[in-house]
Structure 1
Amino acid sequence: MVSFALHHPARLRRSVLSVPAINPRALQKIHDLDCDAVIFDLEDSVASDRKNEARDNLRRFFAETPLVGRESIIRINALDTDFSAADLDTVLACAPDALLLPKVNEPEDVQIASDFLADSDAPDSLRIWAMMETPRSILNAAAIAEYGRTRDTRLDCFVIGLNDLRKDTGVPAEPGRTYLVPWLMQVLLAARAYGLDVIDSVSNDFKDLQGLEAECRQGRAMGFDGKMLIHPAQIPAANRCFGPADEDLVEARAITAAFADPAAASLNVINSNGRMIERLHLEQAERLLQKAALIENRE
């Protein structure tokens, strides 16, 4: 059986800021922001008659002032629209870390994008992220994750899109997201089964930082890697809530030290301060410490 749990090195995805590609001023500001990743949006935030302008903005940005030290992701328009072909050409020209596919419904949606990248000789490092934002995407989450990770289709991360999902289902935007939690957990479980990262949905009221904090804490408790954001003011809360807690780092260092003891070399389970620790906990501890090191190095 293939294990996908640690398919790629630890990455920082606590705060994933979406920036409209149509706004040059916003594009330049991101260099001074402390987010872990940036989604350059060509889809919802760009009017139909300004798509070309937005693409030109991105080509200029990546050529003249590329993002350094953080992941760059370009969200294209849906594959069944008239805009997607030009968007994909822009992705090739800009060479971001990933492209974000909206309105993913079936595994084949990921395959189409992956085939395009392969036929265009895009580097293997250019990955695919998938927006999970339709009823069909939620129902097919496990199939999409499995297909994306076992057929070399570059899939690397799921991003929850609750605005479209609420629209399609009629579930209102209520505090606590009570009736949405089962769907959120369904996507998260599918992602974890196949080694994908998964990013929680945006909090629409960027002035309600208390509400954002609550959603970030909820998302962290559910197991998400980070949160998609729509405003720089939301970055500190996401970094804080999805970052390693001090007590978790202390425990992680204790676990790695315990397994570093030569006496534990042949053991899969050890007793550390009265607690039974398995090697799977060592893998988790090492990954957490890797993330902490990435944060420290960037700061």
Structure 2
Amino acid sequence: MSVARTKSLIADSDDHFAVLIAIQEGDEVFTVGNSRMELTAGDMVLWDSHQPAKFEIDRMVRKRSLMIPGQVFDLIRGPKTRSGKLLSSPASQLLGDYLGVLTNSVQALPQQSLSSARNATLELIAGMLRSEPGGEPGAGTAVALRTAIESWIDAHLRDNAITPAQVAAAHSVSVRTVNRVFAENGDTLGAVVRRRRLMRARADLEATQHSVAAIAARWNFSDASHLTRSFKQQFGLSPSAFRAELRDRTTEVTATEFTATTGEHLLLPAS
């Protein structure tokens, strides 16, 4: 039995997801581009739904699929992150175990816990992508430094400015080292700070009734217009439109059980 997502199907669809596929039982042949992989229990692979793909099985397969909206995945991916990549680090094993727990508990989570679960999932995915060979700086020291810097950034997002010199001094490394840690993944310190401030602003838009101007001031955007422009550039809609969409949304997370070949699917909410 085979199922294919063809170019014509992609052209007819407005949806775009990054999909993490974790095989739990059985075997599946997954083909994307020129890559053909034979997946077995315990394997995990990343797939961009904008790329044609083919799935082939000859008996029942149980798998878990995490569907991440494309605009959300863009916040944590790097230029070296590629579709059709077999994920095999300890971090991917940790993520696989976590998804099992999430699948079993998400329906029972109170509303206020859903955002926390979503953010924890994104952090685990970002850490996994950094730790994969070829993902970000490959050496353990470089990965640890990037992780430490990002934790420091999160603790200082409300500071007026975060500069390479400040980060370097806080971690006893040179400015060149700080810049290289981010540049090796096609990133910059400034871009990372901006994205993380936008994520905090988005969380405030969801969880509070604070004005856009107040949220902009809290996360060091120059004014409401600056936050609105940056937010729309990153997420494709303005802060006010984002809040309106939240009000209209009736289901934040879906976790549906499928039998036969499809397994368990988790849809990570866009916000």
Q: TM-score, normalised by structure 1?
A: 0.26
